[in-house]
Amino acid sequence: MGDTDLQPHAWASFGQEYQSDVTFHLRIAESAADSVLREARRLIREEDAQLPILKLQSFQSHMEASIDFWIVRMAARIFAVFGLVALLVASIGLHGVRAYTVARRTREIGIRMAIGTNARNAVGLILREGVRVSLVAAAIGLGLSLLVGRLLAGMLFSVSAADPVVFGGAAAMLVAISLVACWLPARRAARVQPMAVLRTE
């Protein structure tokens, strides 16, 4: 059973089945938690001033004081840091590969400009090719991510294995980096004098 599954319960009268400690759960709005807890303490004191109150706190305070919850939260933060580092490394690698690929086409851009293509069209050609490659790569990456997410769905708690914000944001970031990596060297190549390129050919 998952953590959110309801467990079977059987309710018994307190007079028939006495327990030395009793736990009451109150479902209230988070904004009213402090005032309700103060009122609950006052009512308990009015009923029996000698009745010990072992603990009176909100569920949020209870969770924050839990060692297990702290471990889970710390693990989530560590994985988030690892994810950001992986995204940064992937971005740097993608930028380097795309920039190197476009830089190798400097002579091609110069030749195109020598035979009549202007700089804007030459840069636009490189960017269109970069967009196609980036979109295909992003689609493949999203498909693999969804597949891996389904495999890891059983290990996640209260988190979607296919979060559209995370997946869409990562894909958009990598596509944007790819376009920048194509645009910068293409713009530099478009500034090269066509005659200088033809002489080197």
Which sequence spans correspond to the domains of the chain?
14-65, 82-200
Helices (H) and strands (E) in the chain, counts: 7, 0
Chain segment 35-60, per-residue pLDDT in tens: 888 888 888 888 777 877 777 777 77
pTM above 0.75, yes or no: no
Range in 27-36, 110-119, 150-159 with the lowest mean pLDDT: 150-159
SS3 per residue for 144-165: HHHHHHHHCHHHCCCCCCCCHH
Contact between residue 181 and residue 122 where contact means Cβ atoms under 8 Å apart: no
Run of H or E residues at 99? helix 67-103
Residue 189 has pLDDT above 80, yes or no: no
Q: How far apart are CA 139 and CA 18, in angstroms?
A: 62
Instruction: Taking residues 23-30, report their average pLDDT.
Output: 76
- Predicted confidence at residue 5, as pLDDT, reads 60
Residue 29 has pLDDT above 80, yes or no: no
Contact between residue 107 and residue 192 where contact means Cβ atoms under 8 Å apart: no
Mean pLDDT of the chain: 78
